[in-house]
Every structure is written in structure tokens, then in C-alpha cells.
């Protein structure tokens, strides 16, 4: 079964289980992969119909399945994501003697992958993004770009490589008109411009907001429109600095899942690097996590880190029990260290201890747990160490 066939089957299963929200988002991803304007038109009409008939799910699912059948007939060629589009080798950025220094950092970036950039404030996340975006020059090392589109001008570069800072500039006029203005720079007809803009509006859940002005939107929808403007340019590398900063928990999860899906496009994948303080949400969607501490780089996937991971079971726990009690009940399952960090306990066990044993001990001793997580393989362990 090809990747497209699997994706189409997944969409069918979502609709079969009456999950119209996620099913429709996945259907739109499949539609985007076709690059077929007629399919786009059907999605646009379907989105408009859904907006006017919000409670007629059975009819909506029937209409979606008809579009799904048509998508299945279109041949989609998958992009080869094996070749890195950015290769950084021992890059550093120094601001002078006794000042902050970033690096050395070596990393390869491939399309279709999401890279989470995490670390405490002031540890170099924004500096690294700005170096990769060529907004500031690195001090030493080499930085090579291997984009598919030829880079002859600054406009070409800023089309293939897009950096969105934490604070975006205000837009003027209607949001839809702004998006159409973006595409007007790319030599496409007015009709295609309209279709591609409306298709992106549909995919990012902005249909009911397309005619509003910037001041009429919440922070979450401002970020979505900023992403729409960026994705219409079909970048190869997208750099996002704290895109989740002003969003509620649900909005964070939805935007991250949408970004993951869009970056995993079969024929138009994007390499995404995003920095965030929302560690768990970022780790959930990231293919690779880069952790910065005092400007130094830790690759969570290298062999040395993997060896360290296998040495201990590390569990983060929030509960209403005293440290002494936890110490006592965990001793039989090879507790090595118990610390109180930032309002939660961090328990370190021998590598032979299993996480389910920790859960079993807590349950059998009737400990009311508010939160628990195995952070042995999470970059969270670097924050609490």
C-alpha cells in the first residue's frame, strides 16, 4: 500500500467513526497533495456548505467521501526527503569577549521533518533561528543551503526560507485580500490566486474569519493567518520562534498537529524548526529535539545521549504525598534519588525498574497523583537535572 493509499484509508476510517473534524483536516491534506485546482474548488465549496449547515454531519460525510474517491484517482508523486536542505557544521555566534556565545552546533535539516528547539530563556534559541534564517551572520563554521528552487535574489531566498518571529507585524485591510496580495507576486492568474488562497483558508480553519481585519482576531487566529501567508509561498524551510506563546493549550495542540501534517506533505514537504517553552507539546510532534543550554547544543538523538537514557528511569510526579512517604514506598523498586523540583518530585530509579512498577506502587499505596510522566527520554530531564 502506497503512502497516499494509507492516508486515504485513514481519512475513510475517521469519517466511518463520525470524526468529522479530524477527518476533514486529513482530507484537505490529501487534497493539497494533488495540487489539482478542481479538487481545491470542491474543498472550498464543501467548506462553505459546512459553514452554512453545521449540524448535518451525515450529509457532510457523504459529500467528503465523494471527494475522497476523486482524490484516489489522481497520481501523486512522493518527494524524496533523504537529501538535507540545510547543513550546519560547527557554527558559532559570538557577541564579543565575556559575552554570550552560541555553539558550536552541527545539524542537518531535511524536508518533511519537524525539529523542536527547546531550552530555557536566554540560551540561544532565537539566535540560532536568526543565524539559520540568514538574518545575522555566524562567527565561524559553515552553513550550506541546498534548496530545490534556484536562489538568485533575496526574494528567492525569502520565498524558500521563511522566518516568523514571536511578534508579528500588524496587517491592514481584509485578511483574504492580504493573502491574495502575497500570491500576486508569483506570476499566477487571478483565478488560481483566488482558489489557492481560499484553499489555504479552508485548511487552516479560517473560513469564517477571512473578511475580518487584523484587530478583530484573537492571538491564535493571527498566528493562523500568519502561517497561511507563509505557506502560500510554499517555503522549503520554515523557522518559527515561539509560535505557541500566546495560545491556550487546545490551540497549541491543534496548530502543532496542523503544522506536522502540512510539513509531511507527500509532494511538497517542508522542513520546520520551531522554538518553544511548551516542551511536551513540541516533543509530541517533533521528529528530532534540539536542546540548548548556555548556548551549547545537545542532540537528543545522538549515541551518547542514548547511552545516558538507558542508565536510569526518571519519573516526574505531582502528588499530595510527602517526600518521606514516597522515599519509603519507592525503596523496594530500586529508587536511587528523589528530589523536589519546581513543585513536583523527580524520582530516579535503576534502569531495570519499569515505569509500570512505579504506577503499581503508587496505586497500591493509594497515592493520589495529579500528574505523572516518564521523562527518561524527554529533554525535560535536562531542565530538572
pLDDT in tens, 241-295: 888 777 777 788 888 888 899 899 998 999 999 988 777 878 888 899 888 887 8
The residue-averaged pLDDT of 166-179 equals 86
Element (H, E) at 151: none
What architecture (CATH level 2) is domain 86-299? 3-Layer(aba) Sandwich (3.40)
CB of 7 within 8 A of CB of 30?
A: yes
If you average pLDDT over every residue of the chain, what do you get? 88
Cell output for 109: 535539516
| Backbone region of residue 40 per phi and psi (left: phi > 0; alpha: psi in -120 to 50; beta: other values) | alpha
Note whether 47 and 21 are within 8 A (CB): no
pLDDT over threshold 70, residue 308: no
pLDDT reported for residue 341: 79
Say whether 61 sits in a helix, a strand or coil. Answer: helix
Separation of alpha carbons 289 and 282, rounded Å: 8
Q: Is the pLDDT of residue 306 over 90?
A: no
Q: How far is CA 36 from CA 43, 62, 76, 204, 375, in A?
A: 11, 21, 10, 18, 44
By mean pLDDT, which of 64-68, 145-149, 254-258, 306-310 is the weakest? 306-310
Q: How many CA atoms lie within 13 A of 131 on its CB side?
A: 30
Residue 244 near residue 252 (C-beta atoms within 8 A): yes
Question: Averaged over 366-373, what is the pLDDT?
Answer: 93
Mean pLDDT of 44-72: 95
Average pLDDT over residues 352-372: 95
For 320-346, what is each residue's pLDDT tens digit?
899 999 999 999 999 999 998 778 999
3-state percent breakdown (helix, strand, coil) of the chain, nearest 5:
45, 20, 35
Q: According to the model, what pLDDT value does residue 303 have? A: 44
CATH 3.30.70.980 given to domain 303-384:
yes
In this predicted model, what pLDDT tens digit does every residue of 88-104 receive, in sequence order? 999 998 887 767 788 88
Q: Which of 242, 11, 29 is nearest to 126 (CA)?
A: 242
Answer whether 241's CB lies under 8 Å from 91's CB: no
Cα–Cα distance between 313 and 377 in angstroms, integer? 9
Task: State how far Cα 130 lies from the chain centre.
Answer: 18
| Beta strands at 101-109 and 86-94: parallel, antiparallel or unpaired | antiparallel
Q: What is the pLDDT of residue 305?
A: 47
- Would you kindly state where each structural domain of the chain is located, as residue ranges? 3-72, 86-299, 303-384
Q: Tell which residue, 317, 385, 312, has the closest CA to residue 353.
A: 312
Q: CA separation (Å) from 195 to 48, 64, 159, 223, 228?
A: 13, 19, 20, 21, 13
Spatial neighbors of 371 by CB under 8 A, at least 6 apart, are 316, 317, 318, 344
CA-to-CA separations, 71 to 36, 61, 81, 93, 216, in angstroms, rounded: 9, 15, 23, 47, 36
Beta-carbon contacts of residue 134 (< 8 Å; ≥ 6 apart): 157, 161
Amino acid at each position: 500500500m502506497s503512502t497516499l493509499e494509507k492516508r486515504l484509508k485513514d481519512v475513510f476510517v475517521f469519517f466511518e467513526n463520525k470524526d468529522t473534524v479530524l477527518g476533514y483536516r486529513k482530507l484537505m491534506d490529501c487534497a493539497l497533495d494533488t495540487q489539482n485546482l478542481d479538487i481545491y474548488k470542491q474543498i472550498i465549496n464543501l467548506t462553505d456548505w459546512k459553514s452554512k449547515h453545521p449540524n448535518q454531519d451525515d450529509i457532510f460525510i457523504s459529500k467528503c467521501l465523494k471527494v475522497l474517491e476523486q482524490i484516489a484517482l489522481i497520481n501523486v508523486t512522493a518527494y524524496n526527503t533523504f537529501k538535507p536542505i540545510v547543513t550546519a557544521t560547527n557554527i558559532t555566534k559570538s557577541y564579543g569577549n565575556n559575552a554570550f556565545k552560541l555553539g558550536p552546533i552541527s545539524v542537518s535539516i531535511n524536508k518533511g521533518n519537524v525539529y523542536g528547539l527547546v531550552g530555557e530563556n536566554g540560551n540561544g534559541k532565537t539566535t540560532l533561528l536568526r543565524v539559520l534564517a540568514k538574518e545575522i551572520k555566524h562567527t565561524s563554521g559553515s552553513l550550506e543551503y541546498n534548496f530545490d528552487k534556484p536562489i538568485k535574489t533575496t526574494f528567492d531566498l525569502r520565498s524558500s526560507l521563511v522566518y516568523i518571529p514571536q511578534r508579528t507585524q500588524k496587517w491592514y485591510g481584509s485578511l483574504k485580500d492580504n493573502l491574495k496580495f502575497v500570491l500576486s507576486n508569483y506570476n499566477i492568474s487571478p483565478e488560481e490566486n483566488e482558489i489557492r488562497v481560499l484553499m489555504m483558508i479552508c485548511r487552516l480553519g479560517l473560513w469564517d474569519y477571512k473578511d475580518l481585519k487584523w484587530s478583530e482576531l484573537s492571538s491564535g487566529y493571527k498566528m493562523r493567518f500568519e502561517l497561511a501567508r507563509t505557506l502560500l509561498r510554499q517555503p522549503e524551510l520554515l523557522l518559527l520562534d515561539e509560535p505557541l506563546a500566546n495560545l491556550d493549550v487546545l490551540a497549541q495542540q491543534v496548530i502543532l498537529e496542523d503544522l506536522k501534517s502540512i510539513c509531511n506533505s507527500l509532494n511538497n514537504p517542508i522542513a520546520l524548526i520551531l522554538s518553544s517553552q511548551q516542551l511536551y507539546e513540541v516533543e509530541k510532534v517533533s521528529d528530532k529535539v534540539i536542546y540548548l543550554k548556555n548556548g551549547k547544543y545537545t542532540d537528543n538523538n545522538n549515541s551518547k545521549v542514548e547511552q545516558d537514557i538507558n542508565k536510569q528511569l526518571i519519573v516526574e510526579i505531582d502528588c499530595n504525598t510527602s517526600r518521606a512517604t514516597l522515599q519509603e514506598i519507592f525503596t523496594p523498586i530500586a529508587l536511587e534519588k528523589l528530589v523536589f523540583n519546581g513543585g513536583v518530585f523527580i524520582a530516579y530509579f535503576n534502569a531495570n525498574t519499569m515505569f509500570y512498577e512505579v504506577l503499581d506502587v503508587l496505586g497500591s499505596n493509594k497515592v493520589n497523583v495529579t500528574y505523572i510522566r516518564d521523562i527518561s527520554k524527554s529533554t525535560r530531564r535536562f531542565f530538572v537535572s
